[in-house]
A and B are shown apart, each in its own frame.
Chain A
Amino acid sequence: QLVESGGGLVQPGGSLRLSCGGSGFTFNNYAMSWVRQAPGKGLEWVSAITGSGGGTYYADSVKGRFTISRDNSKSTLYLQMNSLRDEDTAVYYCAKDGFGATPGLDAFDIWGHGTMVTVSS
């Protein structure tokens, strides 16, 4: 399973770090992603990372502001969010790639419950 934490209320321009703990599978064998969902809206892929952590990928909307990373010794995925904007307000889900260590080759087979990030003054 996957369990996210770290969400909360932050002012525009502020920072927040999300965490996602994995269990029940060999964490370093799988690519991971963050997917967000603004209130009442659809799903938006945010970022992905390879199983080793050596490759990272971002949506244009967050490139240069967000950083994805992982600590395989702790089976934990992170999302460092800087320069937050109102439009970053969303539930953030972490999701496991179903195939293996390279992202984008398969669907997301396991999702966390999500953590809410609210950017507001």
Chain B
Amino acid sequence: EIVMTQSPATLSVSPGERATLSCRASQSISSDLAWYQQKPGQAPRLLIFDASTRATGIPARFSGTGSGTEFTLTISSLQSEDFAVYYCQQYNNWPPLTFGGGTKVEIK
């Protein structure tokens, strides 16, 4: 099973600042990685797939980079609506499909 590890667990950022979230895979997953955003009481929403491709309707301030085992989600200038929990997920080697434990982005 591929283990996905996200860091930090919590990120405190001021509105307008840049946020950088990390995700590490226990073995190479090529670029088969997705990022999701989840707000309280809501379902996850797809932000990024194939490590760096923005999903339909996702603002350009969200960007994804990385391949192999190290991945990064960057939010260039945090807006109020971006405070949420973010999950990475691999779909390279399964079953099982696996998610990271999440990073909570909170207001500083």
Contacts and interface: CB of A to CB of B under 8 A. Distances in A.
Contacts of A35: 44
Contact of A111 (B45, B91, B97, B101): B45
Contact of A42 (B43, B45, B101): B101
Given A42-B101, A111-B43, A60 B87 contact: no
Interface residues of B, number: 23
Interface residues of A, number: 23
A58 to B, nearest CB: 7
Contacts of B71: none
A107 B46 CA distance: 8
Contact of B44 (A57, A59, A106, A111): A111
Contacts of B94: 45, 57, 104
A43 B46 contact: no
Contacts of A98: 46, 49
Contacts of A93: 43-44
A42 B100 contact: yes
21 contacts: A33-B97, A42-B99, A42-B100, A43-B87, A44-B99, A45-B94, A45-B97, A48-B95, A59-B95, A60-B96, A98-B49, A104-B91, A104-B95, A106-B49, A107-B50, A107-B55, A107-B89, A108-B44, A108-B46, A111-B43, A112-B43
Interface of A: 33, 35, 42-45, 48, 57-60, 93, 98, 104-109, 111-114
